[in-house]
Structure 1
Amino acid sequence: MLLTFDTATPLVTVALHDGDEVVRELVSELPMRHGEQLAPLVDTALREQGLVRQDLTAIGVGVGPGPFTGLRVGLVTARTLAYALEIPVYGVCTLDVLAVEAADSGAVAGPFAVATDARRKEVYLATYDADGVRLDGPVVDRPAELAAGLAAGLPVVGEGAVLYPEAFPDAVGPTRPSAGWLARVIAEERAELRDPEPLYLRRPDAVAPGTPKKVS
């Protein structure tokens, strides 16, 4: 049984995949409470399927890009569970999951981009072919700057397109990643499987202070 979850956006999403299909998927009700909600959602999904953690055979986790705090919760949980249960853990770029869902669901019929909210009035963006295979990115910048580099009329998937319609007027498809689609991506090897390390595109807000200046 494959357990997957993503904490790269304000909401936590958790899913179970039995090797053939997704058998359970849950999404948190409250945003920005990753640490409080991830473990209970995992336990609920397992309990509802009559499973325990020892029934898990692998773990998949979204590696972002996304805010530092949310990503850390998901990745630490994934690594800890995998270590304790002695099972493999796979990381997948969160934008790749949205891309595969958009391609397979018919939301796009040709090349497209995925844009997610990076806060600070910026977005994370990557481009994909019609099958959801990444061509370039991800990068982070202001929406107008990134939109200027896209072909006119290129469809854009993800919450970034919804938040900034003036930059991305051709918004389509899913807005936030689904752990169910993350499970499908891993089971079918539809995207690069990475080490469970955070995909940060910029430094966190909190940084260690530098060496104090000498007082003359």
Structure 2
Amino acid sequence: MLRSNTRWLWLYFPMSWIAVGVVLLHIVFYDWTLLTPKDVGGTLFGGAMSTQLFLSGWAVATLGLIVAILLRLPGSILAWITAGLVPLCIGGWWQLNYPDDANGNLLYSPVQADITIAMLIGAAILASGLYARIRVKTASRNASLSGLKIFGKTVAAAALSAFFIAVPLAFLKQQALPYCAFSKEGQQLSVCLSEEDGKRSMNSTFKVIT
């Protein structure tokens, strides 16, 4: 049981749970996106580019959760166990309900073998989480934290939350920008296909981001 009379406790626990929860939401999102079979027959490189992007996001989110565990933030071990259960549940569902392509004209990604690998990774995460939970329970019976340590962990949890909240918000903001948009300073804010498009956009006031 955590023993401390520090005044930061009222902020430490909520901030820790927010940080852990936000990171876990990222992992769940990437698990669902990566493990849900989609027809990628008409996409560029068979959807490999988007898969790499989502895998990178999953890796960053998993790293964020590992950081939370190393900081021993409340709820981090439980979130790690959940992160192991999610691919097992999603993968198991799609193994039983994988889309049928009777004519062989569709190209689905991921294939069932990839889903199986993801389930094995999930099982490893789950097993390590259960083991860590037992170890932490034993080690934390007489644990105590100083006010300075709790303050430091609170700041770290706030930084973790800010990062994993700011990144998707920035992405959504970028997605909402009009085609070939420029700021008043001339900085390109979204994709242009040609220089002519860029010049046309800079002269169009409705595409200037204020």
Short-chain TM bin: under 0.3
Question: Whose helix proportion is higher, 1 or 2?
Answer: 2
Per chain length, whose mean CA-contact separation is higher, i.e. which structure has more relative contact order (CA < 8 Å, sep 6+)?
2
Larger radius of gyration: 2
Question: Whose strand proportion is higher, 1 or 2?
Answer: 1
State TM-score, norm by structure 2.
Answer: 0.28
